[in-house]
Structure 1
Amino acid sequence: MGHCLSCFKTQTNADSLSSPHRKKDEITEIVTTSQVPSVMTPDYPQEEPLLCDNENSINCYKNNSTVQNAITLSSFSDIGSSEIVSLQRTNVNCEKAPKSFYQKLPSIPRTMSSLGSSEPRISESKINQLFDQYKDSLDEAILAEGIENLCNDLQLNPDDFKVLVLAWKLNASQMCRFTKVEFVQGLKNLKTDSIKGIQLKLNDITSELKRDTEQFKDLYRFTFKFGLDVSTGQRILPSDIAIVLWRLVFTNNEPPILDRWLSYLEKNSHIRGIPKDTWYMFLNFCEFVGDDLSSYDDTEAWPSLFDDFVEYENDQMNQNVSKSDIKIQD
């Protein structure tokens, strides 16, 4: 199967000389269709069969003993260039062989498969132009005036909840300041490069926050860091800033206890600041007590400020009960 055409010619001449009973000008050889072309000349070399590393294709060529061609050749040495070899083919059916080619094709990379994606392409140059439109003339950042102009273009008030959401998505390090890195990378993460795109994204995120409690918790934790003055190394949030941010972050899902809590902080001026653990735990506190402080357990590991608040609220409730009893007796 792997011999070249000259080997067949040499062997044929040797056999015809050694066997007087065999006709000199005839020889019948059974070969596969992959070895002998339909038209052959004496000088046409036979190529080695192509071996495919696909197991199914090998078996198709190697083991299909019924798929053979009976080729009647007049003497190899006497074939002229104009003579046609008679070729009879029977039951040729190797449909599985071409599969080896397709199985070797590499998979399409994701970058190529996503060429037809409907997602809009984001232009970093447009984001840079947008940043330059609002940035401060003396600083590579958008400061208070630029943020106010940005809010006007977004049709938002500077104290709107969506402005806090935007700062969260930009991962802003402090209030009234968006650096170029924060602004550019933030809009790239939001997959938008225009004012209209920012508006649409903020609407979607605001709606999602009402349903996704984990996302809201992340926003809530960010708000504490956002309120700190990092330039002075501040670690405790001033009470007046904390009150403003608590009202802001709970704009769309205000807990029942919030108004009483903020009123308590406003009445007690000696409370100068809110530590991070108190800010974080207040979210758990709201979920635990609900609208009734009777479920509060002061033996639990709550911040002391919560103990003082519950005690104050209980005293206020007792005083109200006592006053109502006095009126009834009168």
Structure 2
Amino acid sequence: MNASEMAKISKPEWEKATSELRISNVKTLSTALHDLEDLLLLDKPALRPTASAPTKKPATGSCDPYNRSRYYGYATNTTKFFNELYAFCFTLAKPPQVRNIDMETASAFWSVLVVPKYPLMSDILQFINEKGTYKGVNKDLWTMTLEFCRAVQPDLSNYDPEGAWPTMLDDFVTWKKNGAAGDIPM
């Protein structure tokens, strides 16, 4: 929708996006959102263009429920477009004239964006909630948290303590290795 503000879509943004995507009802909007979730968040295989789906023509004759041209573009490089979505979410969640987003908002976004792809993020969120001392997330921490989840194995076996990770992530590793709550044998 190219919304410029979190949790708000202006009428012109809505009209432009639904027109371009040829979405005219809630069911079709739901289909489009599920398609994107499956592709970018859940890493499900991309849908194939239908035989009669137009590439540059209007909807007439298309078997697709909406204009999937953007979707098919995203499917060409899901990593690139996930990275763009992830970066956009930081910008969207960050209040104007502020450099950070609050931890509660960051945690909510991480739960939706990162947990489905990288289960290690669930442990990081548990750590953040238990610790309770981290209040905000700057762009560096936002970016490095995704990179950490991509690079480090869930069992932390390939974690390099000499790496240049943000302090919060180093603290998480210490917490996890020292027997995080729920991991301590009884």
Normalised by the length of structure 2, the TM-score is: 0.69
2:8 maps to 1:177: yes
How far residue 286 of structure 1 moved from its aligned partner, in angstroms, is: 0.8
CA deviations over 1:227-281 (Å, ceiling 9, x no partner): 2223xx2321101111111112246x24221221001111222211011111112
Write the distance in 2 (CA, Å) between the matches of 1:302 and 1:177.
34
Is 1:274 aligned to 2:140, yes or no? no
Query: Which residue number corresponds to residue 28 of structure 2?
Result: 197
Which has a greater percent of strand? 1
TM (norm. structure 1) is: 0.41
Paired residues for 1:157-176 under 5 Å: 170-176=1-7
Where in structure 2 are the equivalents of 1:211-290 lying within 5 Å?
A: 211=45, 212-230=78-96, 233-250=97-114, 253-290=116-153
Code of the residue aligned with 1:307 in structure 2: it is D
Kept in 2: contact 1:278–1:303 (CA 8 A): yes
1:259–1:197 Cα change, 3 Å:
closer
- Deviation string for 1:55-87 (max 9, x for gaps)? xxxxxxxxxxxxxxxxxxxxxxxxxxxxxxxxx
CA contact (8 A) 1:255 1:290 kept: no
Query: Counterpart amino acid of 2:95?
Result: D
1:291 is matched with which residue? 154
Return the offset for 1:180: 2.4
| Matched residue SS, 1:262 | helix
For residue 13 of structure 2, what is the amino acid of its counterpart?
Answer: E
Amino acid at match of 2:94: L
The RMSD of aligned alpha carbons is 2.4
The secondary structure found in structure 1 opposite 2:179 is: helix
Q: What pairs up with 1:1-330 in 2 under 5 angstroms?
A: 170-209=1-40, 210=43, 211=45, 212-230=78-96, 233-250=97-114, 253-316=116-179
Structure possessing the higher radius of gyration over alpha carbons = 1
Q: Measure how far apart 1:287 and its partner are.
A: 1.4
Cα distance in 2 between the residues matched to 1:267 and 1:206: 29
CA–CA distance in 1 between the matches of 2:36 and 2:92? 18
Does structure 2 retain, via aligned residues, the 8 Å contact 1:256–1:290?
Answer: no
3-state secondary structure, aligned to 2:124: helix
Change in CA separation of 1:310 and 1:217 when aligned onto 2, cut-off 3 Å = same
Higher RCO, 1 vs 2 (CA within 8 Å, ≥6 residues apart): 2
| Distance in 1 of aligned mates of 2:154 and 2:36 | 28
- How many percent of aligned residue pairs carry the same amino acid? 29
Alignment partner, residue 60 of structure 2: none
Q: 1:254 to 1:207 in 2, by over 3 A?
A: closer
Q: Could you list the runs of 5+ residues in structure 2 that have no partner in the other structure?
A: 46-77
Query: Deviation above 4 Å: which 4+ runs of structure 1?
Result: none
Indicate conservation of the 8 Å contact 2:153/2:159, yes or no: no
Using the TM superposition, give the Cα deviation of residue 306 of structure 1 relative to its aligned residue in structure 2, in angstroms.
1.1
**Any stretches of 5+ residues in structure 1 without a counterpart?**
1-169, 325-330
Q: 2 CA distance for matches of 1:186 and 1:200?
A: 15
Change (3 A) 1:296 1:199: same
Alpha-carbon distance in 1 for matches of 2:176, 2:99:
28
Aligned residues between the structures: 149
Shift in Å, 1:206: 2.6
Deviation at 1:192, TM superposition (A): 2.6
